[in-house]
Amino acid sequence: VELVESGGGLVQPGGSLSLSCTISGGSFTDFAMGWFRQTPGKEREFVAAINRFGLTVNFGDSVKDRFAISRDNTKEVLYLQMNRLNPEDTAVYYCVAVSRGGFAYYTEESAYEHWGQGAQVTVSA
C-alpha cells in the first residue's frame, strides 16, 4: 500500500491551501485515514482524522475551526483544506491510513499502518 500526498507549498499568513492524498495497492474504502504533521525538533502532531465512509471526523486542537478533512470515495481521494494559516502551521504533513472494519476514526499515531512520504507546507510572508 502506498500513500501519495500532493498540494503542499508556500502560502502567506492568513491564506489557504489544500492537500490531497491517494492510495495505491489497496481498496480506498477499506481505510480509515487522517493527517499528521511534524516540524523539525518537535513531536509529530495529530491534525485530523476521518472514518472509512467520511461520516465522522476529528481535529487536533490547534487546527480545529480552521481545517477541514474530507474524502471522495468515488474518486478515491482524501483532502485536507487548510484555512487561516499561520506560521505555526509550517510543517511536513503526512497522510496516514489504517485498514480496519467498522466506522471509527483514529487520532493516535500508533493506530496507523501506512504513511505517505510527506508534503511540505510553509506559511510565510
**The predicted structure's pLDDT at residue 100:** 83
Please state, as a whole number, how many other Cβ atoms lie within 10 Å of the Cβ of residue 73.
13
Cα within 13 Å of Cα(111), Cβ side: 20
**The predicted structure's pLDDT at residue 3:** 97
What average pLDDT is seen over the chain? 96
Nearest to 83 by CA among 61, 68, 71: 68
Digit-coded pLDDT (tens) for 13-45: 999 999 999 999 999 999 999 999 999 899 999
